[in-house]
Amino acid sequence: MDNNVNVNDVSRISAGTVIKGEINSPNDIRIDGSFEGKIISKGRVVVGDKAIISGDIICENVDFWGKMTGSLYVKDTLALKEGCVVNGDLHIKRLAVELGARFDGVCKMLSEGEFDKISGNVVSSKAPAAVKPIVAGTPVSAAGTPVQN
């Protein structure tokens, strides 16, 4: 993390913590626990060596020590650190890989304009569909959807 960043401006998922869903932050994020879903940050994301991520990360920069299955969309620099394991595609501007880092996927180098376009599509395309509430007494199909009369 940047030395000029106030500790109160960094969101943190501690070791042992398990979160499922979406994180959207204007600040830096550090993950040492488990996360399943989508992480969107306007700052740096640091993935600690005990972290396990399943999903996508969209951010400015990443320092990656943990394990991940999913895609990375990085506006500037992705640093894959010794011991990390990434199974997924990289959409990045710059890449730094240490000896001992593992990556299995496709790497696409992007310009800043391409990043804005592709990350915008990722952010908007996977938004959950609106859910209509089922009113008590409404007939429901075997698939669990309301039956329209």
How do residues 81-140 score in pLDDT, each as one tens digit? 999 999 999 999 999 999 999 999 999 998 878 888 877 777 775 444 433 444 444 454
pLDDT at 130: 39
Contact between 96 and 115 under an 8 Å Cβ cutoff? The reply is: no
Q: How confident is the model at residue 38 (pLDDT cuts 50, 70, 90)?
A: very high
pLDDT at 135: 46
Amino acid at 47: V
pLDDT (tens digit per residue) in 39-84 = 999 999 999 999 999 999 999 999 999 999 999 999 999 999 999 9
pLDDT at 116: 81
The phi-psi region of residue 119 (left if phi > 0; otherwise alpha if psi is between -120 and 50; otherwise beta) is: alpha
The Cα–Cα gap between 103 and 116 comes to 24
pLDDT at 132: 42
**Phi, then psi, of 125 in degrees rounded to 5:** -75, -25
Which of 12, 18, 15, 70 has its CA nearest to residue 41? 12
pLDDT at 10: 84
Task: Give this prediction's pTM.
Answer: 0.76
Q: How confident is the model at residue 141 (pLDDT cuts 50, 70, 90)?
A: very low
pLDDT at 76: 95
Contact between 14 and 32 under an 8 Å Cβ cutoff? The reply is: yes
The Cα–Cα gap between 93 and 33 comes to 27
Non-local CB neighbours of 79 within 8 Å, separated by 6+ positions: 61, 62, 63, 64, 96, 97, 98
